[in-house]
Structure 1
Amino acid sequence: MSTILRTTRTLRPPRQTASFLFLQLPSTYRAFHSSPRPQFMEQSITVAYSAIESLHTITGLSWTYTLPLSALLVRTFFVLPLSIYARANNRAQVELAPLVSAWKEPMQKKVRLQLQERKMVAISASKPNLMLAKEMRRKSAEIYARWGCQRLKNFMPLLQLPIWLTVMEAIREMCGQREGLWGLLFRTGSGSMSQVLPIEASLATEGMLWFPNLMAADPQLTLPFILSGMLYMNITSGTAKRNRSAFSAGLTKVLKAVALAIGPLTLNVPSAMLLYWISSSSMALVQATIMDRLMPIKPLDIKALPTIEAGSLRKTNHTTLLKVDSRK
């Protein structure tokens, strides 16, 4: 009986039942196991699986082209709007840089008054700088909130991560892999994932060049390192060339190290998953390059801006900005 169930689960249904799978698959192919995924996660993976399978059926393309096309559609309709929104938010913050810088002198006076009121005589040399940095962060957050460009909106592109993971899980199901992405990367050997969706047997014959079988790992070990190089290029090009804070610079170094490590970690990942990942990363690089041209972000040189002299308020750009910002 178990053999019959296992065979039924792994057989690929006829292509004319793609719409039936889209509507009925969660209840028909429900699998119970020791560590089940949340119901919403299974439904999301089922939708992604059905969408990719339907695209393969409608276009008549082989999986070698269907997977990159899927990556293009996902990035165009889901990821690109988030990137444009975050880019516009970042540009607004850069345009407000003179206004934020104009508040440095008043904040310095505020810090001096606070130190005098607290009679802090024996303090470390870094204490005033730390207090000033805290006040400037608070004031900049207030200014950004007033103009509707909060820092949190810069992280909108991170919402693409659940979408990417869902699609990768759907492709994993197509390849018949029982381990999740974490297990494939780090070879935990847990094997606790279930094969909920049917295997796409055509993946074994619709590869190309040196990887004809998309269900197997790359026999030439080339795709993993192409992926690693593509991720590294995404990190080092485009917006990564702009001036960044010390924290951002450190984070960039960590991400570079992760990108270089992805190659060795993905040696056992099915070629279908690598092909989608490479396609998605390539299109991310192209989109970032286009956005750098159409929506450039040119950081202002704060040192070149006019300053407010202590004891006098001349009519400079800064004083004008202070008057504008003081409105209620």
Structure 2
Amino acid sequence: MKPLLRPSIVSHFQSRLSIFPHSVLQLPSESRALLFRQRVASFHASTHRQVPVPTAEALNWLEHACFDAAHNLHAASGIPWAYIIPLTAVGVRVLLFPFAVWNRRAQQRYLNIQPLLQAWLVKFRHSVYMNHAGSKDVAFLRRELAWQMAGRKKFLTKTWKCGWWRRSYHIFLQLPLFVSWAEVYRRMAGMKQGFFSELVSKAVPESVSAAVNPWLGMIFGEATSVKDALEPSLATEGMLWFQDLSVADPTGYLSGIVMGLTCLNVLISTRRAGKGRARINYIQRGLQVAVIGATVAVYPWTLGMPAAVMLYWASSLSTNIVSHVLMDLGWRLRAPPMAAKRKARIPTKIGGNA
């Protein structure tokens, strides 16, 4: 009769049990647990590393770089702040324009694979219905079809280098720069509340705003180094009807201009997306209408902001519109031919009416 365990396994367990003598096993459970903890070594003898809490100075390195760039440009050129602010907005857009071109090319490649996706959809639909002909679970059939289409779409977008992040990374590149420059001009104007805190305080109740503003202050540097960043020359280097850039526009015209430019940007973006997309469902159309309607709230939100921030916002939006026009002239999105939505009517009789 063969033994149940091999000799090597038995010797292995005997060597493990030899660590604990017979006298140790007779000790109380508390003593055995204490002795076992003393014999087990820690992974590392040093203390745990203390992770520092991120501060506004550490997180806003981009903001400090923008602050130094604005002051150096103003000191070197001697141009008033009313022209320096739009110049920085144009410079940011010019810097990001090559990324916008790469983004547009990825969008065009994504449009070019839409006929392939449509053809694979027909094939997968036929295969799913044939393989599960006896199934009456419509939800299961739809999940199976969606799973197969998701795999094919992932393969095609990876092959043609037109994934989601390649088509939209330009948005995530320009957002930190826009926020950083807006915060720079906010600090230079002496505004104690930050850009996002000002929007939150006007959009939500006071109880929610009081709870959210400290967290926004830690992230975006609210009320830190405001005295050091204050620029007195903003009060005398304005233009037109807003000669003082450190205070809000008393007429409210700048807020109206920003609201109109924001709405125009949204309309241009949605129109361009509608041309490049073969079909827009009701959910996407509803989101577009909601975003356009939300631009009306820009006017009351920005009434109390300094004219310097509003001037930068208006300049950035205007430059964005110009970049959209240039992109449409040089790299217009062209939708490929898709299959007909309605089936062709085949005549039942040769030579007869359809």
Same fold by TM-score, threshold 0.5 exceeded? yes
Give, as a single letter, the amino acid of the residue that structure 2 aligns with 1:248. Q
Cα pair 1:210 1:219 within 8 Å, conserved: no
Identity %: 27
Question: Following TM superposition, by how much is the alpha carbon of 1:81 offset from its aligned partner in structure 2, in angstroms?
Answer: 2.4
Aligned residue in 1 for 2:80: 62
Structure 2 counterpart of 1:255: 291
Instruction: Determine if the alignment matches structure 1 residue 181 to structure 2 residue 212.
Output: no
Q: What is the CA–CA distance in structure 2 between the aligned matches of 1:146 and 1:63, rounded to whole Å? A: 48
Paired position in structure 2 for 1:97: 114
Matched residue of 1:132: which SS?
helix
Corresponding pairs, count: 268
Q: Which residue of 2 aligns with 1:153?
A: 166
Is 1:41 matched with 2:56?
no
Q: Which moved more, 1:62-71 or 1:37-46?
A: 37-46
Deviates more, 1:40-49 or 1:291-300: 40-49
SS in 2 for 1:103: helix
Aligned-partner Cα distance in 2 for 1:59–1:39: 28
Residues 151-193 of structure 1 deviation map (CA, whole Å, 9 limit, x = unaligned): 2211112221111111111111111112111222233475862
Asked if 1 retains the 8 angstrom alpha-carbon contact of 2:187 and 2:230, the reply is yes
Larger Rg: 2
Q: Residue 120 of structure 1 aligns with which residue?
A: 135
**TM-score, normalising length from structure 1?**
0.75
Q: CA deviation at 1:132?
A: 2.8
Counterpart-to-counterpart distance in 1, 2:100 and 2:330:
13
1:143 aligns with 2:172: no
Query: Taking structure 1 as reference, are residues 36 and 265 closer, same or farther at Cα in structure 2, changes over 3 Å only?
Result: farther
- The correspondence of residues 93-242 of structure 1 with structure 2, limited to 5 A, is 93-116=110-133, 119-121=134-136, 123-124=137-138, 128-129=141-142, 131-159=144-172, 160-187=174-201, 188=209, 193-196=222-225, 197-237=228-268, 239-242=272-275
Aligned to 2:348: none
Which of 333, 336, 339 pairs up with 1:303? 339
1: CA distance, partners of 2:142 / 2:54:
51
Query: Which of the residues 87, 90, 99 maps onto 1:72?
Result: 90
Question: Which residues in structure 2 correspond to 1:280-299 (within 5 Å)?
Answer: 280-299=316-335
Quick one: distance in 1 between partners of 2:334 and 2:317?
Answer: 25
| Matching residue's letter, 2:272 | T
State the TM-score, normalized to the length of structure 2.
0.69
Q: Which residue of 1 aligns with 2:9?
A: none
Separation in structure 2 between the aligned mates of residue 114 and residue 223 of structure 1, nearest angstrom: 63
Q: Tell me what 1:17 maps to.
A: none
Q: 1:89 to 1:36 in 2, by over 3 A?
A: closer
- Paired residue type of 1:296: R
8 Å CA contact 2:234, 2:244 repeated in 1:
yes
Inter-partner Cα distance in structure 2 for 1:137 and 1:248: 19
What is the CA distance between 1:60 and its match in structure 2? 1.6
Confirm or deny: 8 A CA contact 1:67 1:272 kept in the other structure. yes
**Compared CA separation, residues 165 and 154, structure 1 to 2 (3 A):** same
CA distance change for structure 1 residues 114 and 39 in 2, over 3 Å: closer, same or farther?
farther
Tell me if structure 2 keeps the 8 A contact 1:177–1:195.
no
Taking only aligned residues, the RMSD between alpha carbons, in angstroms, comes to 2.5
Q: C-alpha distance in 2, partners of 1:176/1:36?
A: 24
CA contact (8 A) 1:104 1:136 kept: yes
Gapped regions of structure 1 (runs ≥ 5): 1-34, 308-328
